[in-house]
Structure 1
Amino acid sequence: MPERFYGVRHHGPGSARAVVRELTAQQPEILLVEGPPEADDLVRWVAGGGLEPPVALLGYAAEDPGRAAFWPFAVFSPEWQAIRWAVENEVPVRFFDLPYAFRVGAADPAAVVPAGPAEPAPEVPAGPADPAPEVPGTADETPPGSMTDEARRPVDPIGELASAAGYDDPERWWEDVVEHRGVPVFEAIAEAMTAIREGAAEDPEDLLREAYMRTVLREVRRKHENIAVVCGAWHVPALTRKVPVKEDTALLKGRRKGKVAFTWVPWTYGRLASWSGYGAGVTSPGWYHHLFTSADAVVPRWLVDAAGVLRAEGVPTSSAHVIEATRLAETLATLRGRPLAGLAEVTEAAEAVMCDGEPLRTELINRRLVVGERLGTVPDEMPAVPLAKDLTAQQRALRLKPEAAERELKLDLRKDTDLRRSRLLHRLRTLDVPWGEPAAGRRGTGTFREEWVLRWQPEFAVRLVEGSMWGTTVAGAASARVIRRARTAKTLAEVTALLETCLLAELGEAYPEVLAALDTRAALDADIHHLMAALPALARTLRYGDVRRTDVAGLATVAAGLLKRICAGLPSAAGSLSGDAARQLRDGVDGVHQAVSLLADDELRELWLATIESLARRPDLHGLPAGRLTRLLLDAGRLDTVEVRRRLRLPLTVGTPPAHAAAWVEGFLAGGGLLLVHDDALLTLVDEWLADVPEEAFEDVLPLLRRTFGTFEAGERRAIGERVAGPRAGAARAAVAAIDEKRAVSVLPVLGALLGREIHIREDA
């Protein structure tokens, strides 16, 4: 049987089924698949049960792991199904795309070696790769087989075919012609691609890749006659036409190879989706997975799953909803002349019947089902760098399974297992692997509890390869990375932040080095803002070291020395401030004030309060820090309300520039509006000053005040508004506060029955 070319849409379930049927009928001697030839040795892993898609081939430069690329595969990818068929039938498999080593070895990869085929969106090349922004390293690092340069191609062939057929959506046309009909159309697609390529400009990168493919084909033809080729449909015309050998040789001449390494890594459907930035992706990987795995009753099964998603979120969804939604989807498909209800029809039906027209519920179904949250797996025996293997062992020991879906993790640091989990997550963040992110609004070092949000991303595999330059274990690599950063730190705050990292991640090996760098930097750094920025992390390290069972001896002396230098330099740094400088000083003072409260040292607290008390009395001080210092002193009990009212009147008096007064009020009120809620005199002062602001100055003051009051909680703003509203608000509150005793007593018998006890009314009540 002569060689056969199967031009496919990558990640297309219809193409996947058709390829398997055709291979079974052809029974080829060898299978060629578009992909990186350096990964040929990894094909054998497809036969085992431990490699479960979605997975991806990860290729990276051996000398610079940051230059890396992915070739993802899903269970519905035609390449994956073709490889599985070949392995199960003991047919040799070869990847025959341009080697990734050519791209790594090129002096100018973007100009010399293709950054990937300019495949049209539906015609995705075999072994597509994730775009470079998802991979650390060079910004233009895209491998052969990627789809990131599709915009460079002058024509979208599938779009042209869809338009010729009267479709305004190429995706819908492809579903109707290929996915839903289940009929092999390889010859027709190849003929259409040939016609389109005849009138389109050629991409130089496509020409280079296709020259290499033809070279491999010639080599294989010397030994085999019955050959099967699975590649992107765009390439089929170039591979079937006669091209002189010397032309291909001339194109490939002078290419230099670099040293690369390949392995399998888990992938996710979220990363397979084209909206994530992956050029070779599809818009609905979860839907395509359903089409491939559901042999019959595609629409009802899908809507049953959608009902399950809604029920899990507390939305009542019955079987009647599913039945009616199925009928509506099938009716829509009939009216639109489609062979089977597609994603558009089932989505519209689900939104109308099951979601009550709520877009948020529809979006939930899209996120959970249309895209999906599936994460692939690879065998433990898969070749990997020692750092990745160490992480896998720790994940297993700590019962932390990587998942593509976002989930919350609550830790109690008094428990050994939770403490070890916390240390692992902090160590990974040090290596730029943020598998866990601290939950918003919660600080992990302030109590015995931590809250994390976990979500595993495929690109972490590359960062683990990069991190292997620092060590073979997570702890060792994190320690080496922290030591390096401490030695190259440019500010004192960077060093103290690293000291806190040593605490959170328990990096005992790095601690002495970071402490030595802290001593050196603290002695040399005289910038008052650097000193103020450095103290908070140091104070947290001292205050919460015992929570994490970490030795923090010696840091108290360093912290005391920093605070004394801050107190000595603060007065000179507070003169003649611009608006930005005043804001920077205000923020620095806030940080130091919180740090002093954590240090729990009475002498240091007295020194700090005396310093800001003296500074707050200066008449030339900018309004923003002046108001803030007054508020801090009031909260600390160093000023009474009478003195605060006097100081507030000074910037609010007639003749003071409104901008200065507004800055003073902003500094004083920053951090919360409860003071205005409970102090009528202060509220009256602010209200009267605001009413007296001249009309021509009001526009300058308004943005400052809006920024200040915008930081208050909604309840605080509402309470302030009610107090400013005057007598009517007071009367309303009095009316609400009035209690009708007769009506109140009437409910007591029912309340007693609910509580299971008799309620007696006191006579003196």
Structure 2
Amino acid sequence: MTGPLLLGVRHHGPGSARAVRAALEAARPRAVLVEGPPEGDALLGLAADEAMRPPVALLAHVVDDPARSAFWPMAEFSPEWVALRWGLEHGAQVRFIDLPASHSLAVESAEEEGGPRVDPLGSLAEAAGYDDPERWWEDVVEHRDAAADPRAPFAALGEAMAVLREAYGDGGHAVDLVREAYMRTQMRSAVREFGDQVAVVCGAWHVPALAGKFTAAADRALLKGLPKVKTELTWVPWTHRRLARRSGYGAGIDSPGWYGHLFSAPDRPVERWMTKVAGLLRAEDRQVSSAHVIEAVRLAGTLAAMRGRPLPGLAETTDAVRAVMCEGSDVPLGLIRERLVVGEALGEVPDAAPAVPLQRDLVRTQRGLRLKPEALERELELDLRKETDAGRSRLLHRLRLLGIGWGEPAQSRSTGTFRESWRLRWEPELSVRVAEAGVWGTTVSGAATAKAESDAAGATALGAITSLAELCLLAELPDALPVVMRALADRAALDTDVAHLAQALPALARTLRYGDVRGTTTAGLAEVAAGLAERICVGLPPACAGLDGDGAAEMRTHLDAVHAAMGLLPDPDRLRERWCGVLGRLASRDTVPGLIRGRAVRLLLDDGRIAGEDAARHMGLALSPGTPPADAAAWIEGFVGGGGMLLVHDERLLGLVDGWLTSVAPDAFTDVLPLLRRTFAAYEAGVRRTLGELVRRGPGVRTGPGDAGVPGFGAGLDAARADAVLPLVALLLGRHGSRDLCRSDSFA
């Protein structure tokens, strides 16, 4: 070597990674300098640990403000990772030489304004006549002969970048001038120590600045007075999916899974890739044979030749897969992109890596519960009657309380309270959230308890406190619950807004219900919930008077939620009886908006508190000629919104709606049509079709004896058809063979 060897690379480029490895093997430097924060030098030894599996990233964060953080991600095919591993394996001195994180994190996140932002690869691709930088990079780097001079691509890229730097200066990244000044100081120090036996691996954009003539005094002047903060660094797992986004130093790539394949495939990369695709499609029950693989390889090669490319790239392989294996459909390509082109890899770091105590406790808990973080989103079904599943539920709820969104609750396929469903996906940024949450405690349980107590003290909205109480119960935080309960009782006693009370009650009802399943004492919650229910019953009727359209819509939501909650509270029969009296008053008051009155009648009808004749009477009054059309349409929306089977089975009500609609004046019809369309558009297609047939035939009109004119609907009970299903019902009820279920009138 006759001077520092400058290896300008593309971050996460497999071609650059192979070339770096070849160049280092040929030069055998005594020191390898890599673009990255110098504080990470103390962690470099972990890169050689057998438990370290890329993709991983260096995470730096401000000690007093963990949210201010930065990542330096590395994959197996990243040139920086290859350089680190080569240096560690060959006994070379390995160092990071970029601007220290203590300075870079002290600077505002927004870069200083400069000239237009320059995309180096895009500019070079455009100059070469390419409209796609990725395709240009594949042709000139990824597909080059591996046996050629390993330094040739670095020399060519260095010359090209020098031309771009002459034309664009810092390219709109003014902070790069400071970074490059620090890199030069580190490079000079290494040359003094190791002579010319130094190799520098950095982004190709920086090569002209490192090779140019700059004085040490000028560089020191640039670095003088830089702001500084105290930082901590560690290794954290990364994912291929996160590599596919622009993050860290803006080195995002589109196809990390494809690049990883190109780097790891020992030979015939196209053939091996097509085999992977075929295996994935077969696992999804698609018919893909060996003949498909052979034909797809041939087509990819043909497309590359027709397009003037040296070898098939991702575009050619994707087009071939679409035509041969997917029969021209783009639908399976989404799966291929998610699983293979991007990939599902999640890295691992050794236990020796520095971590906050909370992170270590989280890892221990995850292992104890056999709940491993994964990059791919997956569904998790929990049975709270099992100890392990109950522990998993507690952990996920505690993390949610701490703002660590590893899991999100999902709609369970079971209606039982002992079941929970979650969607899990581990994102690298959650490592920052864990560091942030470390200020609350050293264990997940202790941190969640402290966070809940702090939130309860600072909460001002009644709904927020009730949600917090529910979460404390789900997370099983017995030390925090009394504090939250005191705050809840104090706030509930002071809040006089019925809407706030109605918003808070459902969460308390759910909390009481979950307490029965989890064995948690909820006596204090029951008293507060009962008090809220009483105050809602007193204050709701006057609160519903004189509401505008938006207010009525919001109150209808509260009405449904309170109705569902009443049956879950202590002494449900007494409260339910009183609540039904409230609904009766709402249904009969002309000062209450039609939307609320219609909903109150529907809730009473569904509970069996009023008969169908009474519901028809209420509807007849609401749809009388003296009622404004808009108010009548709102009543219908409240009554039949959310499901149309009631109109299908009760043709009296359908006839009232039909008769009213046909009598609306033409000038008012255009005003009520959007309301009705919004109501009926929410019905399932089958319900809308049946309603259309009933209206076309005419509600209440029979076309023949025992036949409503619509398949499946008759004038009365068909005893023979009803009896046919009774043996199956008996089997489901465990009364198979019983004579009590042999005739339909046994249910009457």
Task: Quote how far apart the aligned CAs of 1:161 are.
Answer: 2.1
Q: What does residue range 600-749 of structure 1 map to in structure 2 within 5 Å?
A: 601-726=572-697, 731=709, 733=711
Equivalent residue number for residue 29 of structure 1: 30
- Matched with 1:57 is 58
> What is the CA deviation profile of residues 237-282 of structure 1, one whole-angstrom value per residue up to 9, with x for unaligned ones?
0111111222222211111221000000000000000378983111
Alignment counterpart, residue 538 of structure 1, candidates 508, 512, 523: 508
1:198 to 154, 161, 166: 166
Report the secondary structure of 2:66's partner residue. Answer: coil
Residue 411 (str. 1) matches residue 382 (str. 2): yes
CA contact (8 A) 2:75 2:81 kept: yes
Give the secondary-structure state (helix, strand or coil) at the position aligned to 2:479: coil
User: Shift of the alpha carbon at 1:471?
Assistant: 0.8
Change (3 A) 1:376 1:45: same
For residue 188 of structure 1, what is the aligned residue in structure 2? 156
Cα pair 1:275 1:283 within 8 Å, conserved: no
Deviation at 1:649, TM superposition (A): 1.4
Write the distance in 2 (CA, Å) between the matches of 1:101 and 1:547.
50
- Counterpart for residue 567 of structure 2: 597
Contact 1:489/1:495 (<8 A) preserved: yes
Partner of 2:73: 72
Larger mean CA deviation between 624-633 and 563-572 belongs to 563-572
1:156 to 119, 126, 132: 119
User: Aligned to 2:276, which of 285, 302, 305?
Assistant: 305
Summarize the alignment of residues 3-18 of structure 1 with structure 2, pairs less than 5 Å apart.
3-18=4-19
Residue identity in the other structure for 1:89: H
Q: Provide closer, same or farther for how the CA distance between residues 584 and 154 of structure 1 changes in structure 2, counting only shifts above 3 A.
A: closer
- 1:498 corresponds to 2:468: yes
Residue 559 of structure 1 deviates from its aligned partner by 1.2
Matches within 5 A, 1:371-386: 371-386=342-357
Shift of residue 157 of structure 1?
2.7
CA distance in 1 between partners of 2:351 and 2:658 (Å)? 68
Aligned partners of 2:13, 2:708: CA distance in 1, in Å? 68
CA contact (8 A) 1:105 1:259 kept: no
Is contact 1:12-1:288 (8 Å) kept?
A: yes
Matching residue's letter, 2:324: V
Change in CA separation of 1:268 and 1:556 when aligned onto 2, cut-off 3 Å: same
**Is 1:98–2:99 an aligned residue pair?**
yes
Q: Choose the corresponding residue for 2:434, options 448, 453, 464.
A: 464
Asked whether 1:174 is paired with 2:137, we answer yes
SS of the equivalent of 1:547 reads helix
CA distance in 2, matches of 1:98, 1:160: 26
Tell me if the contact between 2:474 and 2:514 (Cα under 8 Å) persists in the aligned partners: no
Of 517, 521, 524, which aligns to 1:551? 521
Aligned partners of 2:439 and 2:568: how far apart in 1? 37
Corresponding residue SS for 2:7: strand
User: Is structure 2 residue 317 aligned with structure 1 residue 346?
Assistant: yes
Partner of 1:128: none
Q: Within 2, Cα distance between the matches of 1:373 and 1:278?
A: 22
Equivalent runs, 1:410-489 vs 2, <5 Å:
410-440=381-411, 446-489=416-459
Q: 1:74-109 deviations in whole A, cap 9, x for unaligned?
A: 000000000000000111111111111113334x45
Matched AA of 1:419: A
Percent identical pairs in the alignment equals 58
* TM-score when normalising by structure 2: 0.90
RMSD: 2.1
Q: Kindly tell me the number of residue pairs found equivalent between the two proteins.
A: 699
Residue in 2 that maps onto 1:568: 538
Aligned-partner Cα distance in 1 for 2:117–2:364? 49
Counterpart contact for 2:412–2:421, Cα < 8 Å: no
Q: 1:7 to 1:419 in 2, by over 3 A?
A: same
Q: 1:284-340: per-residue Cα shift (whole Å, max 9, x none)? A: 000000000002111111011111111111111111111111111111112222221
Q: Does 1:356 align with 2:356?
A: no
**Runs of 5+ consecutive residues of structure 2 not aligned to the other structure:** 719-748
2:45 corresponding residue in structure 1: 44
Conserved? CA contact 2:111–2:175, under 8 Å: no
Q: Structure 1: how far apart are the matches of 2:367 and 2:251? A: 33
Distance in 2, Cα, partners of 1:255 & 1:369: 43
What letter corresponds to residue 25 of structure 1 in structure 2?
A
Contact 1:448–1:547 under 8 Å retained in 2: yes
2:728 aligned partner: none
Contact 2:633 2:675 in 1 (8 A): yes
SS in 1 for 2:168: coil
Q: Distance in 1 between matches of 2:264 and 2:652?
A: 71
Flag the 1:154–1:275 CA change in 2: closer, same or farther, 3 A.
closer
Deviation at 1:483, TM superposition (A): 1.1
1:13-41 deviation per Cα after TM superposition (whole angstroms, max 9, x unaligned): 11001101111111111111111111111
* Displacement of 1:160: 2.6
Pair 441,420 (structure 1): closer, same or farther in 2 beyond 3 Å: closer
Moved more, 201-210 or 249-258: 201-210
Secondary structure (helix, strand or coil) at the match of 2:194 reads coil
- Out of 577, 581, 596, the residue aligned to residue 551 of structure 2 is 581
Cα displacement string for residues 678-703 of structure 1 (whole angstroms, at most 9, x for unaligned residues): 10111111122222222222222122
Q: Name the SS for the 1:223 alignment partner.
A: helix
Work out whether 1:336 is the aligned partner of 2:304: no
Match of 1:327 in 2: 298
Q: Is the 8 A contact 2:70 2:105 kept in 1?
A: no
